[in-house]
Structure 1
Amino acid sequence: MPPRRSYDQYCAAARTLDAVGDRWTLLIVRELLVGPRRYTDLHADLPGVSTDVLASRLKDMEQRGLATRRKLPPPSAAYVYELTGRGRELLPVLEALAAWGAPALDERAPTDAVRAHWFALPLLRHLATSGAEGVVEVRLAEGPFHVRLAGGARTYGDGPAPEGADARVTLDAGTCLAVSRGELTVGQGAREGRIEITGDSVLAKALRET
């Protein structure tokens, strides 16, 4: 891999791009925001990245204090990568990029890869507008993911909520994008029959009222 270069500018934006401006780095952050991931899992959910580039980016992220690598306890012998606190602080950055890019998601090209949890980033802030706390399981045709809302913080994970959900939201990708673009609230989608919200929790009721 070619040596890394700095912009050599005393500017916060330039320093940020020094750390995460390389191709693939922010998408690796997106995957690690889900939680600890094995190298093989990262490679599978980053279609198009070469093994050399992925290994190089992960090494850079470790050196910059954005990610760490650790061995899982027995009986597993696998290693996983996970974000540090500094790395997790990039969530609002990814959310802002997703919000800015949502209007560019028109027709899906036949060559476009897709993973259900990729829809989490543009959807997070819209789920949080209810002000209620708890776990939301989102179900798309592409698969499920879950979102945790607590104390103003929000995180997401791939797959069903491991400890159960306070609310379940079922919708299609097109409706999810409409919510992400601000064209529709979750509550409006439910009232129009485009979104199904199940659960009797405070969170489920708050989502219906958004």
Structure 2
Amino acid sequence: MSGSRSYGDLCGIARALDVVGERWALLMVRELVFGPKRFVDLHRGLSGVSHNVLSQRLRELEDSGVVARRVLGPPAGARVYELTPRGRELEPVLLALGRWGSSILPASTSATELSPDALAFALKTTFAPAAAGDLCGRYQLRLGSDAFSAEVADGRLHIARGEISDAAATITCAVHVLQDLVFGGRDLDAAVHAADATVTGDASTLRRFLRCFDDSRKVEAETGRGDADLTVVSGGPSGGSRG
């Protein structure tokens, strides 16, 4: 990584960390796995990083061939950052790190919910093929200004950023609501009744989709209120959930 410290070690692990071992670097990669983003959207997903550090890390990742910049065609004309083919090779590394980190209690934090991309990563790392069974379908997840498609087929889950027209069901809600539905045991009907979520399409297959994730990755965290809340530890590299 240009201008950064090096371990000066020939080991492949050390050489990889020379490129993506700086603070925030891997989380930036996480935010770009599901598609390109503008600088402002990257910062929104990583609210704890300063603009200066974000700019510096992006330059370093560009210099290392992990991230590239391009300008979207009209009418948008916006400059976006995206992973290069080499950068996309880091996805299984992040998934493995997420699974490993899922058993670690989150550090004390003021964060109450994951970023949309961190939640999408948590879905990928906790997807349980045995729980999915023979489920086959595409689902639209609308989380504020972010939209993802989630497709389950042959015991596998694929998630991509963007809108789809053939969803079996669509859920529109805040990030923390979907967190609670998947990882906190919240009932879908109750969320809809409370106007915290809107569902169109086949609600029964959406319920099956929401049960396709390994709830053994929940951990109990003391809240100081006399009871314990179930707090999901993100399968992605960032921690914290709504408590």
Shared fold by TM > 0.5?
A: yes
Report what 1:28 is aligned to: 28
Q: Distance in 1 between matches of 2:113 and 2:212?
A: 34
Higher relative contact order at CA 8 Å, sep ≥6: structure 1 or structure 2? 2
1:125 deviates by: 4.5
CA deviation profile, 1:127-179 (whole Å, cap 9, x unmatched): 472487653435789x86433467998653457x433424668975246347x
User: Matches of 2:178 and 2:211 in 1, distance apart?
Assistant: 17
Give the 3-state SS of the residue equivalent to 2:48 in structure 1. coil
The one-letter amino acid paired with 1:54 is: L
Cα distance 1:106–1:45, how it changes in 2: closer, same or farther (>3 A)?
Answer: closer
User: Which residue in 1 is equivalent to 2:231?
Assistant: none
Q: In 2 relative to 1, CA 106–14 (structure 1 residues): closer, same or farther, beyond 3 Å?
A: closer
Alignment of 1:36-185 (within 5 A): 36-104=36-104, 109-112=109-112, 114-127=114-127, 129=129, 130=132, 135-138=138-141, 145-148=148-151, 155-158=158-161, 161-166=163-168, 172-174=178-180, 176-177=182-183
The answer as to whether partners of 1:43 and 1:51 remain within 8 angstroms in 2 is yes
Partners of 2:212 and 2:72 lie apart in 1 by 42
Q: Is the 8 A contact 2:67 2:83 kept in 1?
A: yes
| CA-atom RMSD in angstroms | 4.0
Residue identity opposite 2:182 in structure 1 = C
Q: Which runs of 5+ in 2 are unaligned?
A: 190-198, 214-243
Q: Structure 1, residues 89-128: CA drift from partner, whole Å, max 9, x if none?
A: 1111111122122233569854445323312223215447
Asked whether the 8 Å contact 1:66–1:83 carries over to 2, the reply is: yes
* Structure 1 residue ranges, 4+ long, deviating more than 4 angstroms after superposition: 105-109, 130-134, 138-141, 148-155, 166-172, 193-200, 202-210
Flag the 1:106–1:29 CA change in 2: closer, same or farther, 3 A.
closer
Q: TM-score, normalised by structure 1?
A: 0.69
Unaligned runs of 5+ in 1: 179-188
For residues 21 and 127 of structure 2, the distance between their equivalents in structure 1, rounded to whole angstroms, comes to 28
Q: C-alpha distance in 2, partners of 1:133/1:84?
A: 30
Distance 1:96 1:90 in 2: 10
- Call closer, same or farther: CA 1:9–1:107 in 2, change over 3 Å: closer
> How far apart, CA to CA, are the structure 2 residues paired with 1:165 and 1:177?
22
The answer for the alignment partner of 2:15 in structure 1 is: 15
* Counterpart AA for 2:179: A
In structure 2, relative to structure 1, the CA distance for the partners of 1:37 and 1:150 (3 Å cut) is farther
Tell me what 2:219 maps to: none
Q: Normalised by the size of structure 2, how large is the TM-score?
A: 0.61
In 2 relative to 1, CA 100–195 (structure 1 residues): closer, same or farther, beyond 3 Å?
Answer: farther
Distance 1:164 1:111 in 2: 34
Equivalent residue, structure 1, for 2:232 = none
